[in-house]
Amino acid sequence: MSKSLARVAAALQAAGIPSAPVEAKGEIRTAEAAAEQAGVGVDQIVKSILFQGESGRLYLFLTAGGNRVDPGKAAAVAGEPLSRAEVEVVRQVTGFAIGGVAPLGHLTPAPTFLDPRLMEFAEVWAAAGTPRHMFRATPQDLLRTTGAKVADFTG
């Protein structure tokens, strides 16, 4: 088991989330592919999108699979101008590679915001630290374990 996958499995267990990462039949680099693998609608897939503020701080936006982060709304929520986080910065701060960024188990936690669309489902699926693994959880569990705030940042 990779270090990233093990960190997510440990974070799920520590948070009391009754879920374990599952391996997909192939890489799941898009929300559509993840939804197909999980057998759910695309909006039940949690995309973990990282932006970097002018201050250097990273912000994590947990977005429903069919939605896109609106940079202006995201900056307003974060309270500072934002740009996409560089690949190397994402790996260094979170411990995950792009395509496998989980909403929990980060090396360094970041302020986190959750798309209200995700709250409409009993269950959602998110990356589990690799491009081949996912886990299921309730949106409420994600809010609790990540310390996320529900916010309007999509457009």
- At position 33, the amino acid (one-letter code) is A
Average pLDDT, the chain: 95
Asked whether the CA dihedral 140, 115, 34, 59 is positive or negative, the reply is negative
Question: Which residues have a Cβ under 8 Å from the Cβ of 56 and sit 6 or more positions away?
Answer: none
Residue in 59, 45, 12, 38 with CA at minimum distance from that of residue 118: 45
Cα dihedral 22, 140, 149, 95 in deg (nearest 10):
-20
Which residues are 58's β-sheet partners?
52
125: how many CB neighbours lie within 10 A of its CB? 24
Fold of 3-150: YbaK protein (3.90.960)
In tens, the pLDDT along 30-65 reads 999 999 999 999 999 999 999 999 999 999 999 999
In tens, the pLDDT along 80-95 reads 999 999 999 999 999 9
pLDDT at 17 (0 to 100)? 94
Contact 63, 47 (CB under 8 A): yes
Three-state DSSP class for residue 22: strand
- At position 55, the amino acid (one-letter code) is S
Q: How many CA atoms lie within 13 A of 74 on its CB side?
A: 27
Local confidence band at 25 (pLDDT 50, 70, 90 cut-offs): confident
Contact 134, 127 (CB under 8 A): yes
CA distances from 136 to 6, 72, 80, 125 (A): 16, 30, 32, 4
Which residues are 133's β-sheet partners?
23
